[in-house]
Amino acid sequence: MTQPTSTEMIHSARERFNSAIATKNADIIKTLLAPNYHLITGRSAQFHGAEEEGIRWSELFHADPTAVYRRTPREVTANESWGIAQEIGSWQGSYTAEGILVHASGVYAAKWQRTKNGVWMLQAEVFTTLVCEGPCDPPDPI
């Protein structure tokens, strides 16, 4: 039996992440994140740590049951000898703000790192919002 490639494993992990968002399962999301995971959202907010991110997703799912996001990878490139990889792609999502359904989309880049046990985990993600329809607040100025 052939072992899956790193690219296939990362695509599979990304699909598990998408599925966890769709089923509102923050516990599964947390298992895909490295302990020192870092996130920059499409609105430029920054968060750090897998534990914190698990709590954020859980609170979002509870506060807004309409919230759903999907990441679609365009390219995954791995450095096999170092156990690191980059994923780039597009994302889209919807959520409710001010009682109105918001649709947003954009691009993202993700850095993955392979554990000693051969499992790929997300180390960092950066999202950029390119389109937002509905009551959308831009990021705070720097």
Task: Name the residue among 105, 97, 100 with its Cα closest to residue 70.
Answer: 105
Q: Helix, strand or coil for residue 77?
A: strand
Between CA 92 and CA 83 the distance in angstroms is 28
Decide: pTM greater than 0.85.
Answer: yes
Q: Helix, strand or coil for residue 29?
A: helix
Per-residue pLDDT of the chain (142 residues; tens, 9 = 90+): 788 999 999 999 999 999 999 999 999 999 999 999 999 999 999 999 999 999 999 999 999 999 999 999 999 999 999 999 999 999 999 999 999 999 999 999 999 999 999 999 999 999 999 999 999 989 988 8
